[in-house]
């Protein structure tokens, strides 16, 4: 198996396993995973979509994040709010994440195995170890999604929902 195949499998698996956690969370969209806060489902979905734009469009390709207007509410370092009116509707955010994922997979498919070693065009120096090549950018998307999946599992418990997924 070439790494491109492994990356695609990880992207699809991470995305699919994360989405199965939120299918029934629309009514719990701003439930925090702990009494001390954390990342609620609505913020996590928007953050994953926004971050994918940062990793691929901005860092990898040197272009603008297509979700730049979401920076103030979903970028790394923003603080999730329990006020749902501060965010786009849950269904819109979920649809944007699904669209972003599909475009990412299509972009991956457009590259050869050798293309994945291309140096990223817009990666800040301090992130070169993680996003320095196309291959690294795609790999980090899958890892990022799975990392946040754990937070969704905690939020499901806090919302009183049944365990989801394998």
What phi and psi, each to the nearest 5 degrees, are found at residue 133? -130, 165
Q: Is residue 48 part of a domain?
A: yes
- H-only helix segments in the chain: 3-22, 41-52, 71-74, 90-109, 128-131, 134-158
pTM of the model: 0.95
35 exposure class (CB count in 10 Å sphere: 0-12, 13-18, 19+): exposed
Measured CA angle at 42 (ends 8, 163), to 5 deg: 70
How far apart are the C-alpha atoms of 36 and 142, rounded to whole Å?
Answer: 27
Using CA atoms, how far residue 35 sits from 27, 38, 159, in Å, is 18, 9, 12
pLDDT the model gives residue 166: 65
Q: Is residue 163 part of a domain?
A: no
Task: Render pLDDT for 34-89 as a digit per residue (tens, 0 to 9).
Answer: 999 999 999 999 999 999 999 999 999 999 999 999 999 999 999 999 999 999 99
pLDDT the model gives residue 124: 97
Task: Render pLDDT for 98-148 as a digit per residue (tens, 0 to 9).
Answer: 999 999 999 999 999 999 999 999 999 999 999 999 999 999 999 999 999
Q: Is residue 82 part of a domain?
A: yes
Q: How many Cα atoms sit within 13 Å of 11 on the Cβ side?
A: 26
Going by pLDDT thresholds of 50, 70 and 90, the confidence category of residue 1 is confident
CA 41 to chain centre: 12
Q: Is residue 120 part of a domain?
A: yes
For 87, the domain range is: 3-158
The answer to whether 44 and 160 are in contact (CB under 8 A) is: no
Q: Is residue 114 part of a domain?
A: yes
Tally the domains of the chain. Answer: 1
The CATH number of whichever domain residue 65 belongs to comes to 1.20.120.450
């Amino acid at each position: 198996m070439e790494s491109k195949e492994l990356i695609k499998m990880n992207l699809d698996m991470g995305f699919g396993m994360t989405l199965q956690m939120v299918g029934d969370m629309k009514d719990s969209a701003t439930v925090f995973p702990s009494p001390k806060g954390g990342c609620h489902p609505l913020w996590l979905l928007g953050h994953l979509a926004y971050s994918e734009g940062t990793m691929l469009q901005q860092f990898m390709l040197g272009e603008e994040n297509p979700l730049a207007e979401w920076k103030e509410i979903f970028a790394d370092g923003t603080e999730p709010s329990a006020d749902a009116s501060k965010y786009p509707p849950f269904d819109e955010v979920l649809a944007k994440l699904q669209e972003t994922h599909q475009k990412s997979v299509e972009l991956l498919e457009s590259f050869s195995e050798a293309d994945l070693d291309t140096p990223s065009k817009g990666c800040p120096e301090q992130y070169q170890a993680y996003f320095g090549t196309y291959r690294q950018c795609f790999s980090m998307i899958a890892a990022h999604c799975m990392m946040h999946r754990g937070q969704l599992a905690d939020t499901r418990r806090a919302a009183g929902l049944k365990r989801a997924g394998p």
